[in-house]
Structure 1
């Protein structure tokens, strides 16, 4: 399989202001970078596409593999079965500092059974594939002859040529009242959605307007893996615009570990784009500059990916 078998947008690359000084601290500081030419999937990888990969290769995702107790010291035995993290709305308002109230390790949850053993993707072939760990995204990308985008490439693509705006479409969350992305509807996260967007979970890819580069769902729907190790902040701005870093990369694996969980020596990569669970009142992260760390072995109901493609002129 090649780029011709995917709907790929080829970007010439260029210079842009990466990050934000106006939102969350991990997005700062704003700094000038350059990226070379590259291709990127117009849409997030779907269940239909991932199913073709599994059928052709027999691949088993991380969520389907048995867990080794030695890798999870202190974890309850009953949790050490194949599964993944599933979002479940709460029965009412809760303290938003405690994510465990709406996330639960669910035995049997995987890409083909997103909510657990009794669920299916029968009517979700064109929805983004979820419960994808880093190894799963990488394996699929390798199979199609692609790779994962760097954080800088992803953000450049998400901005769609609008340098410095808050969102992929501009500075207003809802220009002229239009819903631009699949995010949480209303202020009552995580217990009640107004349903204005028409979707309470994922939406078929391409259901909302494309950005200036013709790319869909660069905001919301599902978070997307990048190739870069997590860092707590961006590097400082260089002193002279001529020296803006070309095709910058993130930190190193040693610096990506979570200091709050020293018992788990699991490195983290950067995920981008926000998801259908991003609520303005809780997680305003469906923006190009937004970034979060994700343990590489952990898939969830709101994490997927799209592929990047190296072009002959790509100097990455």
Structure 2
């Protein structure tokens, strides 16, 4: 996996006790959700820009049932309400650190946090970094309440889902919804990355990982209601933050004969993430394509991973 996508904590999840959250808010609101009517679609890609080793192809017909999906990724404000209601402590807080992209770290932060990921030194293990302090001590989310929550693990996302009465989407549901009714287009809006001179998503411009020209308007996360929605009314299904899915990740599961509501393998080590993030760049990781996939361990958290929820009819 290209480590601009996401980087793993690399620890044993058994060292921590994952918090159990009861469904205290099970009568979920359909506000800011859209009905995704079920149907058959062509999942995956055979495109030369793809990564066959990720299991993007071959293209196959898949059917999903109808479901509701959040228009936006879960925001800092929504996650704050969850924490206030439940006193939930995220895994980044319990571990005491999370991964922050180096350009967002002050000189003092870099000095006090010398630990780097081998081969990808732009990821900094920052002590005290978590969803409410995205860049570590001294940072805050006061002006980012409408941005996607970050530094949340898959386990954290599941806890939020249990509280809200929702769930994470399967990969098939996510891709079906992200395509917005378009068939086999490269992006959620079509085949051209830039349309009429306008950027359609929040990804990296410039020279990765040194300089971001932020021609799309942002160097880090952007508000969840930015750019135009796709054909189903979903915002930022490309770029901004990676979104956790329910499935265990496998590069081979899609080759099975499960084509109706596939849910991925029964076991695994990594959970799937979809959509790409503000760090994706064509020279390194073009996983902002709608068929692209990546993964991370369920206990990992980074400054470019978030999630959105779905709900059954």
TM (normalized to structure 2)?
0.84
Alignment of 1:43-54 (within 5 A): 43-54=72-83
Matches of 1:62 and 1:54 in 2, distance apart? 13
Which of 87, 101, 104 in structure 2 is aligned with 1:58? 87
Shift of 1:88: 1.0
Which of 231, 241, 260 in structure 2 is aligned with 1:246? 260
Residue aligning to 1:261: none
Residue aligning to 1:278: 280
Which of 84, 92, 104 in structure 1 is aligned with 2:98? 84
Shift of 1:89: 3.4
Matches of 2:231 and 2:118 in 1, distance apart? 37
Tell me the secondary structure at the aligned position of residue 235 of structure 1.
helix
Deviation per CA, 1:2-34, whole angstroms, max 9, x where unpaired? 442641101111101111111111111111100
Tell me the secondary structure at the aligned position of residue 4 of structure 1.
coil
Matches of 1:228 and 1:216 in 2, distance apart? 22
Shift of 1:100: 2.4
Residue aligning to 1:75: none
What RMSD, in angstroms, separates the aligned Cα atoms of the two structures? 1.8
Matches of 1:221 and 1:111 in 2, distance apart? 15
Which of 242, 249, 259 in structure 2 is aligned with 1:230? 249
Residue aligning to 1:132: 152
Q: Conserved in 2, the CA contact under 8 Å of 1:29 and 1:233?
A: no
Aligned residues: 273
Residue aligning to 2:228: 209
Q: Conserved in 2, the CA contact under 8 Å of 1:28 and 1:233?
A: no
Residue aligning to 1:263: none
Which of 299, 302, 306 in structure 1 is aligned with 2:301? 299
Shift in CA distance, 234/103, structure 1 to aligned 2, threshold 3 Å = same
Matches of 1:185 and 1:98 in 2, distance apart? 24
Matches of 2:262 and 2:119 in 1, distance apart? 32
Tell me the secondary structure at the aligned position of residue 218 of structure 1.
coil
Which of 186, 200, 203 in structure 2 is aligned with 1:180? 200
Shift of 1:59: 0.3
Matches of 2:214 and 2:118 in 1, distance apart? 24
Deviation per CA, 1:18-75, whole angstroms, max 9, x where unpaired? 1111111111111110000101000000000000000111000010114xxxxxxxxx
Deviation per CA, 1:230-280, whole angstroms, max 9, x where unpaired? 002452386xxxxx7210121232xx3xxxxxxxxxx21000000000111
Which of 168, 184, 201 in structure 1 is aligned with 2:188? 168
Gaps of 5+ in 1: 67-81, 91-96, 239-243, 257-266, 312-316
Which of 165, 181, 187 in structure 2 is aligned with 1:145? 165
Shift of 1:99: 4.8
Q: Conserved in 2, the CA contact under 8 Å of 1:131 and 1:299?
A: yes
